[in-house]
Homo-oligomer: A and B are copies of this chain.
Amino acid sequence: MTSHRNKDNTRERLLVAAASVFESQGYGQARLTDICRAVGVTKGALYCHFPSKEALALALLEKQAGVWHRQAASVRLRQPSEPYRLQDLIDVTYAVLADLRQDPVARAAHRVLFQDRVFDLVGGMQVVSCVTLVRDMLHEAQHHGELRRDVDLREAAEGIVGSVIGVRVLSRAMCDYEDVTERLETMWRMWVTLLAVPTCRAALRVGALHAAMAPHGLSGDAPRD
């Protein structure tokens, strides 16, 4: 039992160290030796968990894989009295993107997502899985009468995920994610205009300030855990 826990612990520490080394050296340049040194293990111990650098990258992505789904569940729990499903969706994107500024694993996962073979192996699938989640949330919003009649759910879901990717890339290019929430606000102002019926549109909170004040970018009037 203890040995199992130790093993899990080493695996976790290797992942966190890999995230930090990928961040400081870049994925292509990152050396496994430096990851081992940060954790204080031999290369043999590393290989016991991860046969290659690519395996580390894939494990980091896997760790982040469910983040949209986890945040979606968490938003629902935190704001059970929130009347608008679109608000939940907006808050999920703030929560996911806020992580880029504070969580080294999230940053590393975004960094490796677009690495050529990694993208072909799992990155592409993760993007598709995000689209499915967003479409499901939009479907609920439609069911609640929040969406304009001319909204095509698939097109809107793909457009929103595409816009979020654009926000991430531009924010990284321009200022290392410093303005990621402001960019998200601009993006949502646009999407809300396109998607929401007037009553819903007037009630939605799309602002970065609204998100910044809440822990993990999540908002709501329900008690927090």
| Chain A residues engaging chain B, CB cutoff 8 angstroms | 22, 26-29, 54, 111-112, 114-117, 119-120, 123-125, 127-128, 131, 155, 158-159, 161-167, 169-170, 172-174, 183, 186-187, 190, 193-194
Please tell me if the beta carbons of A172 and B124 are within 8 angstroms of each other in the complex. Answer: yes
Expressed in whole angstroms, the minimum distance between the Cβ of A197 and any Cβ of chain B is 16
Please tell me if the beta carbons of B163 and A162 are within 8 angstroms of each other in the complex. Answer: yes
Q: What 3 pairs across the A-B complex have the smallest Cβ distances?
A: A162-B166, A124-B173, A114-B114
Please tell me if the beta carbons of A186 and B170 are within 8 angstroms of each other in the complex. Answer: no
Query: Nearest B residue to A191 by beta-carbon distance?
Result: B190
Residues of B within 8 A of A186 (CB): 155, 158-159
Expressed in whole angstroms, the minimum distance between the Cβ of A218 and any Cβ of chain B is 24
Expressed in whole angstroms, the minimum distance between the Cβ of A25 and any Cβ of chain B is 9
Contacts A123-B173, A124-B172, A159-B187 aside, 8 further interface pairs with beta carbons under 8 A come to A26-B117, A27-B117, A28-B115, A158-B170, A159-B186, A159-B190, A161-B166, A190-B194
